[in-house]
């Protein structure tokens, strides 16, 4: 395949990944690396580099809109970014010493986990929790515009240490595998810290860019980011996810999520198989 053909195919594949990722809310980054390694036979290190820069692009693009709407809690985001950036540094360093096969197997396992998390029915948020002393000291309680009447709804953040530890893990995974690890960030905010779901998803998105930029610095210095590969992938994913954010599909979203989850599970199994059999 020559550069022109490869670039065209990469733009199309990345566009679809970005579109599906944004329509389903599962993020496009998670399918990019398997797509590049399994179908385009790209070394997993180049794939991780290209995926990571597109993660920064989509998360910054989406966060620009969310931040203005007042859903994301910038204090919680900033505080937890201490954990995610330290985690991302550790993950990126590990990534430079781990063999390709090990990376592929870990990647496959993370894909299976994120498919599971995204299928898990969301637990009904307990409302009106009492303020937590630590979260209050850290000024983390806030409010968000309610979907029904647009009025400000207050909430109290809980369990800061658990959220902080989970965020360290999410940062490490992001740095190790070049994905946004949005699913794990949402688990930390929504399940551990008991924030409203909309606040969790937008704050997570807000944090992804900073986390990814931390490991991107190391990837760039280590020569993982190839311009010929990152260019079509970044432009494709970005345009796909921007389009996805504009189309509001309500009825088909459930089926789409199911299909996309199946794709993720298949790719995850394939990554583990290729890692174990050493055919990467």
Using the contact rule CB under 8 A, the part of the chain among 24-32, 187-195, 206-214, 264-272 near other proteins is: 206-214
Q: Which is nearer to other proteins, 96 or 253 (CB)?
A: 96
Q: Are 43 and 274 in contact (CB under 8 A)?
A: no
Site for other proteins in 125-144 (CB under 8 A): 138-139, 141-143
Angle, alpha carbons 107-114-97 (nearest 5°)? 25
Q: Decide if residue 221 touches other proteins (CB under 8 A).
A: yes
Site for other proteins in 146-165 (CB under 8 A): 152, 154
Distance CA(147)–CA(107), nearest Å, equals 36
Site for other proteins in 30-49 (CB under 8 A): 40-43, 45-46
Q: Decide if residue 91 touches other proteins (CB under 8 A).
A: no
Q: Decide if residue 74 touches other proteins (CB under 8 A).
A: yes
Shortest reach from residue 250's CB to other proteins, in Å: 26
Q: Please report where in the chains the tokens 């890692």 appear, as a residue.
A: 275
Shortest reach from residue 69's CB to other proteins, in Å: 9
Closest CA to 238 of 250, 248, 230: 230
Distance CA(266)–CA(280), nearest Å, equals 16
The residues that touch other proteins, with contacts defined as CB under 8 A, are: 1-4, 6-7, 40-43, 45-46, 53, 56-57, 60-61, 63-65, 67-68, 70, 72, 74-75, 78-79, 81-82, 85-86, 88-89, 92-93, 96, 100, 138-139, 141-143, 152, 154, 209-210, 212-218, 220-232, 234-235, 238
């Amino acid at each position: 395949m020559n550069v022109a053909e490869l670039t065209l195919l990469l733009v199309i594949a990345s566009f679809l990944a970005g579109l599906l990722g944004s329509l389903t809310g599962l993020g496009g980054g998670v399918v990019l690396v398997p797509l590049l390694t399994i179908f385009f036979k790209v070394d997993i290190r180049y794939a991780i580099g290209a995926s990571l820069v597109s993660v920064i692009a989509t998360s910054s693009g989406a966060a620009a809109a969310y931040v203005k709407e007042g859903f994301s809690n910038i204090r919680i985001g900033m505080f937890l970014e201490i954990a995610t950036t330290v985690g991302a540094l550790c993950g990126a360093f590990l990534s430079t010493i781990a063999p390709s096969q090990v990376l592929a197997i870990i990647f496959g396992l993370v894909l299976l986990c994120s498919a599971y998390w995204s299928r898990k029915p969301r637990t009904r948020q307990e409302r009106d929790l009492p303020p937590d002393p630590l979260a209050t000291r850290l000024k983390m309680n806030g409010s968000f515009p309610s979907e029904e009447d647009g009025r400000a709804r207050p909430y109290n953040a809980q369990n800061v240490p658990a959220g902080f530890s989970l965020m360290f893990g999410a940062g490490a995974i992001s740095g190790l595998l070049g994905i946004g690890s949005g699913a794990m960030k949402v688990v930390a905010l929504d399940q551990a810290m008991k924030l409203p779901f909309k606040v969790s998803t937008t704050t997570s998105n807000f944090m992804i860019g900073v986390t990814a930029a931390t490991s991107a610095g190391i990837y760039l210095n280590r020569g993982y980011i190839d311009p010929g590969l990152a260019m079509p992938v970044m432009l494709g994913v970005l345009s796909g996810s921007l389009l996805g954010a504009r189309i509001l599909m309500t009825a088909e979203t459930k089926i789409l999520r199911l299909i996309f989850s199946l794709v993720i599970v298949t790719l995850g199994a394939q990554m583990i198989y290729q890692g174990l059999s050493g055919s990467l």
